[in-house]
């Protein structure tokens, strides 16, 4: 089985066709916090730029990402720190 970061990357690429995607495992920084597991792979940061976010509010963008990762949340993903932008926003 692949690691969670790879699965998150694959799911987000399929759902949003981003021009930029960075998935970072922040689990080690959250050891001992709520939702942390001994093996890690529970807390991630995602930076994504995608045309698909055009016209969506910040909340709608986050919901769309959470919907794309519903299986990961069911399997132990606890938290995401999201930075989600359109190409125009990223260019500013």
CATH number, domain with residue 81? 3.30.300.90
**Which sign does the torsion angle of CA 48, 17, 62, 46 carry?**
negative
Say what the pTM is: 0.86
Number of domains in the chain: 1
Judged against a pLDDT cut of 70, whether residue 9 lies above it is answered with yes
Query: In angstroms, what CA-CA distances link 60 with 12, 55, 65?
Result: 15, 9, 9
The pLDDT tens digits of the residues spanning 11-62 come to 999 999 999 999 999 886 645 566 555 556 788 999 999 999 999 999 999 9
Q: Which domain holds residue 77?
A: 4-91
């Amino acid at each position: 089985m692949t690691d969670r970061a790879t699965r998150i990357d694959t799911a987000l690429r399929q759902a949003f066709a981003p021009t930029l995607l960075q998935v970072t495992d922040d689990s080690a920084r959250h050891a001992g916090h709520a939702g942390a597991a001994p093996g890690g792979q529970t807390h991630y940061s995602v930076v994504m730029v995608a045309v698909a976010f055009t016209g969506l509010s910040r909340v709608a963008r986050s919901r769309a990402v959470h919907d794309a990762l519903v299986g990961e949340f069911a399997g132990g993903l606890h938290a995401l720190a999201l930075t989600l932008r359109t190409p125009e926003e990223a260019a500013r």
